[in-house]
């Protein structure tokens, strides 16, 4: 693992690393914010997933989550959004698929299945590395994300409730199967059988797995978001939560769009949400 750069940020350090991923089979980058504290083993970890066309620096540099993580003594982990350097034909042709758009799943269709395994990478490799190398997240791990990253936060939390103790999202793709973005990506990553897509759809997972988060789920959605009705569809998650008996706080905000101006406005509430779940 190589430290690429570091920046003093509030009462901690924002660092960026590169390491050779055994699961992806390529070098991967990630960001890590560590608050100033004496005992890292007691510091909870909040995984922050960015959206389409983003990378490991996007959430870290635009959401200002470090300000509130410093106060709560929570570490922040910023994974990349896809493998880099796979050199698969068509990988860079669209901003909503391929590079920068891994959808936080494990592809089963060649040629994508050789490298696009972001689900396993985050859950089985990156988080364990951060726990082992830095001692962070031993007590608690939460997850949040924006847009495609919100989709990733919800689906990973519903699949791995023993790893993630809390979940929230900003303007998430609530049902990838019912989103044009998802319907563009899922058949390419997972094949044409829509049954396989259900394992990459937050609403389908929630209503089929029996997984529940007793403290609820926090969702913020801007109602001036150009994608709210066509791609994100928060009402579908609201209905899935009703059917599943899952408590959800879904806050709709007039005036706010899909940008990180929206995310940064409400990120304090999300850090506080996860801090409370972690007992901070």
Q: Which of 9, 21, 70, 147 is catalytic?
A: 147
Do the beta carbons of residue 66 and residue 33 sit within 8 Å? Answer: yes
Encode pLDDT of 192-234 as tens digits: 999 999 999 999 999 999 999 999 999 999 999 999 999 999 9
Please report, for residues 106, 178, 180, 207, the alpha-carbon distance to residue 229 in angstroms, rounded to integers and kept in the order given: 27, 11, 11, 21
Please report the pLDDT score of residue 90 as a whole number: 87
State in words which class domain 2-277 has: alpha beta
Encode pLDDT of 48-105 as tens digits: 999 999 999 999 999 999 999 999 999 999 999 999 999 999 898 889 999 999 999 9
Please report the pLDDT score of residue 38 as a whole number: 78
Q: How far apart are CA 242 and CA 226, in angstroms?
A: 26
Encode pLDDT of 113-139 as tens digits: 999 999 999 999 999 999 999 999 999
- Mark whether 225 is an active-site residue: yes
- Mark whether 113 is an active-site residue: no
Encode pLDDT of 134-164 as tens digits: 999 999 999 999 999 999 999 999 999 999 9
Domain boundaries, the chain: 2-277
Q: Which of 80, 106, 225, 274 is catalytic?
A: 225
Q: Which of 106, 166, 201, 258 is catalytic?
A: 258
Encode pLDDT of 64-80 as tens digits: 999 999 999 999 999 99
- Mark whether 120 is an active-site residue: no
Output the pTM of the full model: 0.97
């Amino acid at each position: 693992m190589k430290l690429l750069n570091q920046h003093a940020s509030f009462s901690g350090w924002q660092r960026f690393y590169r390491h050779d991923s055994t699961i992806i089979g390529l070098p991967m980058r990630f960001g890590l914010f560590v608050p100033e504290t004496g005992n890292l083993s007691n510091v909870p970890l909040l995984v922050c997933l960015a959206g389409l066309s983003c990378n490991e620096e996007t959430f870290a540099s635009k959401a200002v989550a470090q300000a509130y993580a410093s106060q709560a003594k929570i570490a922040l982990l910023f994974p990349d959004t896809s493998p880099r350097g796979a050199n698969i034909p068509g990988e860079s042709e669209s901003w909503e698929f391929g590079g920068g758009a891994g959808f936080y799943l494990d592809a089963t269709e060649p040629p994508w299945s050789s490298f696009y395994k972001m689900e396993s990478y985050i859950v089985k490799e990156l988080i364990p590395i951060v726990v082992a190398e830095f001692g962070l997240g031993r007590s608690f791990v939460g997850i949040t994300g924006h847009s495609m990253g919100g989709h990733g936060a919800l689906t990973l939390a519903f699949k791995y409730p023993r790893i993630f103790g809390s979940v929230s999202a900003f303007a998430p793709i609530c049902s990838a199967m019912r989103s044009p973005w998802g319907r563009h990506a899922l058949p390419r990553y997972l094949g044409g059988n829509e049954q396989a897509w259900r394992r990459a759809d937050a609403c389908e997972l929630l209503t089929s797995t029996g997984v529940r988060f007793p403290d609820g789920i926090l969702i913020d959605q801007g109602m001036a978001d150009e994608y709210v009705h066509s791609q994100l569809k928060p009402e579908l998650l609201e209905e899935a939560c009703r059917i599943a008996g899952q408590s959800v706080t879904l806050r709709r905000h007039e005036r706010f769009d899909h940008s990180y101006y929206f995310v940064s406005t409400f990120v304090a509430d999300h850090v506080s949400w996860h801090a409370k779940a972690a007992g901070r």
